[in-house]
């Protein structure tokens, strides 16, 4: 089992398989590597890396963030 393997990785934000995806990025948090499938997912991850890293239910987390973004944008 290799730590460098990128096979069977899934995007930590949206859960899509990242294998063969040209937009795939990897970020490190707390010494662990996380796969992100696209710039939007990278942005999401960067908003709350500790929460994604802690294994919170990602769909709940993403929904909360989207709600927060909408709320901020509509509040001007
Ligand atoms: Zn993704």
**C-alpha closest to that of 29 among 51, 56, 58:** 51
Interval between CA 41 and ligand 1 midpoint (Å): 5
For the whole model, what pTM was predicted? 0.77
Percentage helix, strand, coil for the chain under 3-state DSSP, each rounded to 5: 40, 15, 45
- Ligand 1 centroid from CA 15, angstroms: 6
For ligand 1, the distance from its centroid to the CA atom of residue 9, given in whole angstroms, is 11
Residue for token digits 């796969």? Answer: 35
Q: What confidence score (pLDDT) does residue 63 get? A: 93
How many A from CA of 24 to the centre of ligand 1?
8
Tokens of 75: 């509040």
Residues 3-49: pLDDT tens digits?
555 567 999 999 999 988 888 999 999 999 999 999 999 999 999 99
């Amino acid at each position: 089992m290799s730590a460098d393997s990128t096979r069977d990785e899934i995007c930590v934000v949206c859960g899509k398989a990242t294998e063969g995806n040209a937009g795939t990025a990897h970020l490190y948090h707390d010494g662990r590597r996380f796969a992100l499938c696209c710039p939007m997912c990278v942005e999401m991850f960067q908003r709350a890396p500790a929460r994604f890293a802690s294994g919170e239910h990602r769909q709940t987390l993403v929904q909360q963030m989207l709600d927060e973004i909408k709320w901020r944008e509509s509040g001007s």
